[in-house]
């Protein structure tokens, strides 16, 4: 039984990494040994789990179906082991989907405490500024900002942060300092993140004014967009935590600080149809304690 479970865990890691070599290293095996174990598993099942080429290792259709069926079983075993140990220590692996800016500015600076407490847990940050698919990319939990798309996934709110409007001192020196929201209509925005294709609504003392953002530069990555703002390429709109470093270093200046420009909400999403693995739940608990916010709801 233990050999079969080990083979299944190896299969899951090959599927997650797309590499026999990497999965073998994680399991203290040689690459030929890992390949042989998977080949024996395929022989036992009477089907092919992976398509192997010189460039990539990808799941077959039957391999993807098999992964979807066995991963919840392995996660349940992990949860049972965790309950019996009773010492709070987590083991195995945890794949967290996250954008580059959240990874570098929110998670990494606060992750050492969690990692030290769970020294036997391998954490993989799947960093991508597009929205990861939890099932096909074998992600245990993903952190998302903004409005949630329709989904059957279970979402837990982990925080809410105010949006701020900012520009570099060099941009202000060239283009002038906006005094009122209406002044922004003649300014150049870096179109990215929460501003992409949207109207900004400013509120103050019962007054409300909406401004259409426009600009000559569009960037898909929030981290790069902030750097563009620092370089004077335009006004940016970002969550307050993502630009606090630049404010502290006077590389960005907050514009219209007396006006409320709304906020952005962060959620942790777990795969639908599965019980979240203990490591995923513990990780989200940790993030909630550090970032604030605690709400359970269905995405959509």
Hey, where are the domains in the chain? Answer: 1-87, 90-300
Question: Could you confirm whether domain 1-87 is CATH 1.10.10.10?
Answer: yes
Q: Which CATH number fits domain 90-300: 3.40.50.2300, 3.40.50.720, 3.10.580.10, 3.40.190.290?
A: 3.40.190.290
At residue 299, the pLDDT reads 46
Pairing of strands 236-239, 50-52: unpaired
Cβ burial, residue 54 (10 Å; 0-12/13-18/19+): exposed
pTM score, whole prediction = 0.67
At residue 28, the pLDDT reads 85
Question: Radius of gyration over alpha carbons of the chain, in Å?
Answer: 23
Phi, psi of 122 (to 5 degrees): -90, 120
Any residues with CB less than 8 A from the CB of 71 and at least 6 apart, and which?
Answer: 12, 138, 274
Q: Residue 115 and residue 112: Cα distance in Å, rounded?
A: 5
Give me the sign of the Cα torsion angle 129, 134, 138, 144.
Answer: positive
At residue 251, the pLDDT reads 97
Residue 144, Cβ neighbours under 10 Å: how many? 23
Residues of the chain where predicted confidence (pLDDT) is lower than 70? 1-2, 79, 81-88, 131-137, 149-153, 193-197, 273-274, 291-300
């Amino acid at each position: 039984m233990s050999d079969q479970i080990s083979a299944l865990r190896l299969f899951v890691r090959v599927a997650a990494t797309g590499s026999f070599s990497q999965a073998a290293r994680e399991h203290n095996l040689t690459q030929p040994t890992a390949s042989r174990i998977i080949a024996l598993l395929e022989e036992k099942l009477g089907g092919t789990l992976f398509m192997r080429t010189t460039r990539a290792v990808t799941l077959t259709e039957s391999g993807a179906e098999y992964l979807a069926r066995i991963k919840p079983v392995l996660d349940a075993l992990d949860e049972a082991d965790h309950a019996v140990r009773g010492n709070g220590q987590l083991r195995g692996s945890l794949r967290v989907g996250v954008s580059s800016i959240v990874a570098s500015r929110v998670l990494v600076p606060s992750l050492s405490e969690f990692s030290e407490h769970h020294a036997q847990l391998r954490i993989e940050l799947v960093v991508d500024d597009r929205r990861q698919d939890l099932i096909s990319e074998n992600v245990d939990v993903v952190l998302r900002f903004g409005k949630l798309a329709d989904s059957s996934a279970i979402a837990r709110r982990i925080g809410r942060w105010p949006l701020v409007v900012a520009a570099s001192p060099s941009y202000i020196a060239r283009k002038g300092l906006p005094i009122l929201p209406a002044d922004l209509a003649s300014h150049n925005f870096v179109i990215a993140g929460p501003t992409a294709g949207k109207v900004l609504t400013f509120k103050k003392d019962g007054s409300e004014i909406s401004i259409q953002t426009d600009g000559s530069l569009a960037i898909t990555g929030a981290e790069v967009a902030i750097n563009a703002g620092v370089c004077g390429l335009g006004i940016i709109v970002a969550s307050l935590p993502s630009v606090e470093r630049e404010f502290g270093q006077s590389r960005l200046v907050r514009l219209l600080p007396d006006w409320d420009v709304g906020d952005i909400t962060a959620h942790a999403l777990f795969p639908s149809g599965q019980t979240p693995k203990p490591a995923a739940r513990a990780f989200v608990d940790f993030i909630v304690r550090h970032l604030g916010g605690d709400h359970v709801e269905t995405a959509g």
